[in-house]
Structure 1
């Protein structure tokens, strides 16, 4: 699986988590449960961000220094 496909898969999973939180709010679920899910989403977004930054540094930035 290419890196782009992996990132898209992660983002789709995050999208599903967000939809789950929306449903939890509609159902007036316990606030702590919602906050736990939001924390999980934030961690997943952070991981995507870190992966993209790492790839950018390895490819784009490194290439610009070499040219």
Structure 2
């Protein structure tokens, strides 16, 4: 069953880095930070890491708003 797209408010609530999360991301090697940040947020929401490299069932809107590499 597909979930409806997230609203902008839901995206901000679910995907904004908190200070403790930002510390974890900043502790990573600079080249790995952009990849690690969405994985960390996914894990905090779902209690596990995604099954596939592209996040499996992640909301399309979450990937569309990610900063370009």
Larger proportion of helix:
1
Instruction: Flag the structure with larger Rg.
Output: 1
How would you bin the TM-score normalised by the shorter chain? Answer: 0.3 to 0.5
TM-score of the superposition, structure 2-length normalised? 0.32
TM-score of the superposition, structure 1-length normalised? 0.32
